[in-house]
Amino acid sequence: MSRIRRLLDWLRPGDLRLAAELAAIGLLIMVFLKVAHETTELDTDSMDEKILLALRNTPDDPIGPAKIEAAVMHISALGSGAVTGLLILIFTLYFALAGRWRYALLMLMTALGTLAAMGLLKWAYGRERPTIVTQIDPPGGLSFPSGHSMISMALYLTLGMLLAQAEKKRRMKIFCIAASATLAGMIGFSRMYLGVHWPSDVLAGWTAGATWALICGLVIRRVGGRQQIEGDQAPEATGDA
C-alpha cells in the first residue's frame, strides 16, 4: 500500500488523467470489438429482436401515442447528417472567426474522422437493417454500426468536452459531459424505437463515437487550456500619458 501511495504522489494529476483516458479508450475499443464479433457470429440476433419487439405493441405500431412517435422522430433528426453537418459548419466557422484555428481543425477532424470510420465499418460488416418491425423513418444503406449513434456521440461529446474546458466549477464540467452524452444516448435510443437499427448497431455506434470523442479530448488538452475557449484578452493600458 505504501508503494502505491508513493507512486500516486510521484505521478502528476495530468498523468493519472491521461492513464484513465487511455484505459477508457482501450475499454471502449474492446467493447466494440466484442459486439462486432458477436454480431458477426449472429449471437446478438435473439436479444436484438426481443428489444425491438419490446418497443412495439405490434411490429407495425410503436408503444406510446402518436405524439411520442413524432417527438422521437425529432430527437432522431438531431443525429442526422443535415443537423450534425450544420452544427459542425457553425462551430468550425465560430472557432475560425474567433482565431481558434486549432479548435476549428479539431471540429473538422471530428467530423471527417467519424464519417470515414463509419463508412469503413459499415462496408466491412455489411449488416442489413431490421425487417422484423416496420421502419418508421425509412433509412438508407447498411446497419452496423448506427451512423446516427456514432456521429452524435462523437460530435456532441466533443462539444461537451469543449464546453467543460471553459468551465471552472467541477459540477458544471460534469453537467456539460453528462448532458452531451445523454443527448447522444437519446438519439441512439430513437433509432431503435423507430425500428431502423438493431440495438447492437446502436451500442457499437455509441462505443465507436465515444472512442473518437475521447481521442479528440486528448487533442483538446494538448492544444491548450481553458483560455483558448474564453479568449486571451490583452490587458488594457493603464499607464499615464
DSSP 165-214: HT--SHHHHHHHHHHHHHHHHHHHHHHHHTTSS-HHHHHHHHHHHHHHHH
Q: 210 lies in a domain? A: yes
pLDDT 10s digits, 68-115: 989 999 999 999 889 999 999 999 999 899 888 888 888 888 889 999
| 101 Ramachandran zone, left/alpha/beta (phi>0; psi -120 to 50) | alpha
> Is residue 36 assigned to a domain?
no
Structural domains counted in the chain: 1
Predicted TM-score (pTM) of this structure: 0.81
CA angle in degrees (0–180, nearest 5) for 158-161-163: 110
Instruction: Give the separation between CA 237 and CA 164, rounded to whole angstroms.
Output: 31
Residue 177 lies in a domain: yes
What is the pLDDT, as a whole number, of residue 234? 41
Burial of 53 per CB tally in 10 Å (0-12, 13-18, 19+): middle
In a domain, 30, yes or no: no
Structure confidence at residue 142 (pLDDT) = 86
* The C-alpha cell that represents 1 in the structure block: 500500500
173 in a domain, yes or no? yes
Specify if 241 maps to a domain: no
The domain spanning residue 134 has which CATH number? 1.20.144
Q: CA 78 to CA 152: how far, in whole Å? A: 8
What is the span of the domain harbouring residue 146?
46-225
Domain-embedded: residue 28: no
- Residue 5 belongs to a domain: no
